[in-house]
Amino acid sequence: AQTVTQSQPEMSVQEAETVTLSCTYDTSESDYYLFWYKQPPSRQMILVIRQEAYKQQNATENRFSVNFQKAAKSFSLKISDSQLGDAAMYFCAYRTYYGGSQGNLIFGKGTKLSVKP
Amino acid sequence: ETGVTQSPTHLIKTRGQQVTLRCSSQSGHNTVSWYQQALGQGPQFIFQYYREEENGRGNFPPRFSGLQFPNYSSELNVNALELDDSALYLCASSRGERSYNEQFFGPGTRLTVL
């Protein structure tokens, strides 16, 4: 069974600075998807960024980028130029490539990010 | 385009009771997944409905059941409530059951079991 581990329960960053959230996962599959989700205090989960395992290039979305190390099974999220609105719980998630009855999103326990003005 | 909505927002029940939670999927989406998020934890997959059929289930007992209707809205039913069922219940809809279909989450229903 696949597992996702986030070893940082809480992180803090100064506004305008850069922060990196860590995530490791365990799987025997070669094809899969990895995601970072943001859950603000209002609770609605929002997709931040996703990475297909077969792509070597790291995904980027504006100020958000990932460092995907397939061999090490590591998937970290870097937030540049942090803003107050970035404060939230961040969840790393895994999904098997084939979906359907094969399974759904597997989440880590989350990292609570605080942004200091 | 209307996003995923859930009702009610909050619910308080007592142990042993039954509860029904509702989810309206986003327009054009035929797949709904339900997740349980205990306090301080990440969401855990309960089950998925695709075109009105359950086509995937996580490690939850049979007292967790669901339905999907022809308009692709969905219900989660929990019988014989236990204290540990207290959690935020999230539903997510997508255009299809495949993994490349992004899941869009609703705001959740906070269930408290006393």
What is residue B1's predicted lDDT score, i.e. its pLDDT?
61
Contacts of A104 in chain B (CB under 8 A): 33, 35, 45, 48, 56, 58
What is residue A101's predicted lDDT score, i.e. its pLDDT?
56
Mean pLDDT on B81-90: 98
What is residue A41's predicted lDDT score, i.e. its pLDDT?
86
What are the strands of the beta sheet with B74-78, ordered from one edge? B5-7, B19-24, B74-78, B64-68
What is residue A89's predicted lDDT score, i.e. its pLDDT?
97
In 3D, which of B75, B35, B36 has the Cα closest to residue B52?
B75
Which of B99, B100, B101, B110 has the highest number of chain A CBs within 10 A, making it the mutation to test binding with A? B99
Q: How far is CA B67 from CA A108, B46, B64, B89, in A?
A: 27, 13, 11, 15
Q: Spell out the per-residue pLDDT of chain A, length 117, in tens.
A: 889 999 999 999 999 999 999 999 999 998 999 999 999 987 799 999 999 999 989 999 999 999 999 999 999 999 999 999 999 999 999 998 876 655 689 999 999 999 999
Given an 8 Å threshold on Cβ–Cβ distance, is A105 in contact with B56? no
- For B13-43, what is each residue's pLDDT tens digit? 999 999 999 999 999 999 999 999 999 999 9
Tell me the shortest Cα–Cα distance from A52 to chain B, in angstroms: 9
